Amino acid sequence: MTEIIDRADVALILADPRFLVPEADAAASTPFERFRADVSRFSNGATHDARRRRLESMLAGIELAALARTAASLTRSALEAEPASPVATIARHVPVTALGRQLGFRHAESLPPLVAAIADAYASGRATDAAAADAATVRLLDAAPGADASDDALLVQLLVQAHAATGALVERAMQRLAASGPVSPSTHEVLTATLRDDSPVAMTRRVATGQPEHASTPDVEPGALLVLRLDGPDRDAAGDRPPRTLAFGAGHRGCPAPHHALAIAVAIVEELRRAEARARIDRTTHKETIDVDAR
């Protein structure tokens, strides 16, 4: 296994069709393994392209403004139910529920724990608790509104990929805001900086299948498994040129839903910021009241 760290090299590899994703086992029979074999993420060639087109068609049916409103409403409801609700809890629940609602999943509010049960093993295929992963997969596929089993797998794929990546984006953006000092950046600025400097998805993998197309692409042996860092240094960054952003990948296999992820993240972060501002005002008012009473 070879690790490619520099973003300039990673970008070249992601754009080169000779580097393929490690495929899921097409002969797999357990529910979780079968699900991985049926999604676009772990397929190549014509199979991937057909599934990717279907994914994009599904996503095109979602109005971004409606998705953002759903995410904002869910965030407000979570804060009303538990004002001290941890950012991590909201960040892991709201993206899945909001996307699930907009995609037409049944009982969308029940989906986040099921997605969490398979999200960690999704990339590698190695589940710590195989029985729990299988059970969660079956329930997720059953809740999906697809026209057939193939559509159901792709719809669940969207939820799984939203769970960790969008959730981590929200968490890291809020951490960045907390450390920003008295002059806070806008929500758009903080999300852009987080995607660039603290990628919610740290790495992805490719397999070399031949000689690279581009002369500058790292020379690796055919068949080699590459770990591509999306958060490493960028040799092309200099002066006023920041490192390139690879959080959503690059090339023809880039994230199919970057605009959807950002719509959700902006809505959540905005609501969390409003809640924090209200809490500061309440604390100030409370302190002033105490000071007046003490006179």
Q: What is the pLDDT along the chain (295 residues), one digit of tens a residue?
A: 899 999 999 999 999 999 999 999 999 999 999 999 999 999 999 999 999 999 999 999 999 999 999 999 999 999 999 988 899 999 999 999 999 999 999 999 999 999 999 999 999 999 999 999 999 999 999 999 998 999 999 999 999 999 989 999 999 999 999 998 888 899 999 999 999 999 999 999 999 997 777 777 888 888 999 999 999 999 999 988 999 999 999 988 999 999 999 999 999 999 999 999 888 776 666 555 565 555 5
Alpha carbon 72 to chain centroid, angstroms: 17
Q: CA dist 200 to 9, 190, 245, 247, 248, Å?
A: 19, 13, 11, 7, 9
- pLDDT tens by residue, 177-208: 999 888 889 999 999 999 999 999 999 999 99
User: Do residues 271 and 72 make contact, with C-beta atoms less than 8 angstroms apart?
Assistant: yes
Query: 237 by DSSP, 3-state: which?
Result: coil
Q: CA dist 294 to 44, 266, 287, 290, 291, Å?
A: 71, 42, 11, 6, 5
Which pLDDT score, from 0 to 100, does residue 83 have?
87
For the stretch 140-143, contacts whose Cβ atoms lie closer than 8 Å and that sit 24 or more positions apart, written own/partner, are 140/111, 140/114, 140/115, 141/31, 141/35, 143/100, 143/105, 143/106, 143/107, 143/108, 143/110, 143/111
User: Which residue, 41, 3, 4, 6, is CA-closest to 20?
Assistant: 41
> Amino acid letter at 185?
P
Q: Which residues pair with 241 in a beta bridge?
A: 238
- pLDDT tens by residue, 236-259: 999 889 999 999 999 889 999 999
Residue 129 falls in which region: left (phi positive, over 0), alpha (psi -120 to 50) or beta: beta
For the question of whether the overall pTM of this predicted structure is more than 0.75, the answer is yes
Q: Which domains does the chain have, with CATH numbers?
A: 24-197+257-293 (1.10.630)
Task: Give the per-residue SS3 of 158-211.
Answer: HHHHHHHHHHHHHHHHHHHHHCCCCCCCCHHHHHHHHHHHCCCCCEEEEEECCC
């692409």: which residue's tokens?
217
User: Which residue, 156, 150, 149, is CA-closest to 133?
Assistant: 156
- pLDDT tens by residue, 101-116: 999 999 999 999 999 9
